[in-house]
Amino acid sequence: MSSHPSSQGVDVSLNVLERIRRCAASVTRYPIDILTEDALLEDELGIDSVKLAEIAAVVGREFNLPPERLPRGGKARTLRAIAEVVAPLLAGAPLQPAPAVAAAPAPVVAPAPVAAASGPAPADLEARVRAVFARVTRYPEELLTPEADLEDELGIDSVKQAEVLAVLVKELGLSRGPAPSQRLRTLAAVCEAARAHLPAPAAPVAATREASAPVRPSPSPVSPQPFLPFAGKVALVTGSGKGIGKVIATRLARAGATVVVNSFHSRDEGEKTAREIAASGGKAVHLWGSVAQEEHLERMFSSIAEQLGGLDFLVCNASNGLIGPFDRITPRDWDKAFRTCITGTYECAMRARPLMAARGGGSIVTMSTSMSQRYMHDLGCQGVVKAGVESLTRYLAAELATDGIRTNCVSAGPVHGELLGMFPDAAARVARWEAATPGGQLCTADDVADVTELLLGPKTRRVNGAIWVVDAGLSGTVDGLLPAATEAREPRPGSKGFSYIHGHDVRALLALES
């Protein structure tokens, strides 16, 4: 008799877990068999903090839980962990029948926070700040409580926080943004910091907000019979759902290649990129998966072999690495960056090898940063790991040459696009980098795609193991890109009011100070 209540409790827990799996499937559109109870949602399944928040919101609606009781942070690392939070809250209360799965995604896809943010700005500062957080992170506003820890409870990392602060500076007309060293941990702390920098006459600036335009390749010249140099070729571009990877994938498709668009965290964007290529007359398929997960790679390359018969080009564009202060890099950040950039590149190349060798050879292009050999403030994690990518490129070039495979690296500097917006004080840094670049202009994603396309093609058939820098000359002129020093605030005696460090005019450096 005593075993009956225990058995009933197990049934209730299993019921809760199954309903939570269905909630996760409705948000992520993952096959439900992938959503196992103990899989790490972020590290193994690639469900980022934004999707985790959406899942938490859907779970809250499924079980009628108040926002403050929703599982967050470490309590939401696996579906089992979420169930262990939810089940005790339901103890003693009869479970309601599960609603139809088709109705679950509705709260997710309906962009209520976006609509609220796009209307007239709320008079209350906290409401305006919350609206900006909701729009940038795509979190439901009910999760953004004033005292919730942004990073530990909500999973809003330093990169996403920097994006939010950049938008707040523009929309609230702040005289300057909060310094990264302040480490604002809650929404309430952000509000206080913003209030300190509000201009005296509060002028609404939300209407002047510029919508970020999607990066589009320049149209090719019209010709009666365009020459397609990559016709009949198959190309895999990892991390090509958006940004530079998307531009490269689109460029290769326009050159005649059948492109395998790959994305992991940005699955929706990857599928959209493949559709856009097909709509413009190109050939593309989308394969979801993480280059840092061996099982995903096995499935991806098996699909390429079965569906497309082989591979000619591989562009290892998928990347990971914290952008932020050097002393905030954690062992987990290093592990994710290394597994994606080093192990992922190596595994992709070795799996591509037999597919390319069967077709008489091929070409691989890896992606690095020109700051891998120099210092750039807030790029410590990526800079160090990308130096390893350049070394790996040389080894792959030597090892794979016997199969007719060339391996080269594109080492790009700051490129106009989404990534630049992730840096703290992005606008000031861009102005400073442009001032230090010969010619005064940074590169674009099209510039990187130009060199990538050239390295893949036959015109560089004798180029192997090379690291080609694409940064408009910035890396040849910088002297460390250190943040502006304190002593730079005082003018040198006898000068005209401007300050100098090591003999250089550093007026541009002062823009970086918060």
What is the predicted pLDDT for the residue at 144?
A: 82
Q: Are 380 and 326 in contact (CB under 8 A)?
A: yes
Q: Single out the residue of 6, 1, 18 nearest to residue 95, CA to CA.
A: 18
Residue in 189, 191, 193 with CA at minimum distance from that of residue 177: 193
pLDDT at 175: 67
3-state secondary structure of 396: helix
Residues of the chain with pLDDT below 50 are 1-10, 12, 94-123, 202-212, 223, 480, 485-514
Backbone φ and ψ for 262, nearest 5 degrees, come out as: -120, 135
pLDDT of residue 426: 67
Closest Cα to residue 411, out of 381, 380, 374, 437?
374
What domains appear along the chain, each with residue ranges and CATH number?
A: 3-108 (1.10.1200.10), 117-206 (1.10.1200.10), 234-476 (3.40.50.720)
Closest CA to 372 of 438, 471, 455: 471
| Lateral strand order in the sheet of 258-263 | 283-288, 258-263, 234-237, 313-316, 362-369, 405-412, 467-470
Enumerate the β-bridge partners of residue 129: none
Sign of CA dihedral 392, 397, 398, 400: positive
Would you state the pLDDT for residue 464? 95
Q: What pLDDT shows up at residue 79?
A: 86
Query: What pLDDT shows up at residue 378?
Result: 72
Query: What b/e sequence results for 377-414 when a residue is b if at least 16 CB atoms lie within 10 Å of its CB, and e otherwise?
Result: bbbbbbbbbbbbbbebbbebbeebeeeebbbbbbbbbb
Which phi and psi (to 5°) does residue 317 adopt? Answer: -100, -20
User: CA quadruple 258, 263, 267, 272: dihedral positive or negative?
Assistant: negative
pLDDT of residue 483: 55
Question: Tell me, what's the pLDDT at 7?
Answer: 43
Euclidean distance between CA atoms 129 and 171, whole angstroms: 10
DSSP 342: I
What pLDDT is attached to residue 404?
A: 95
Residue 374: predicted pLDDT: 74
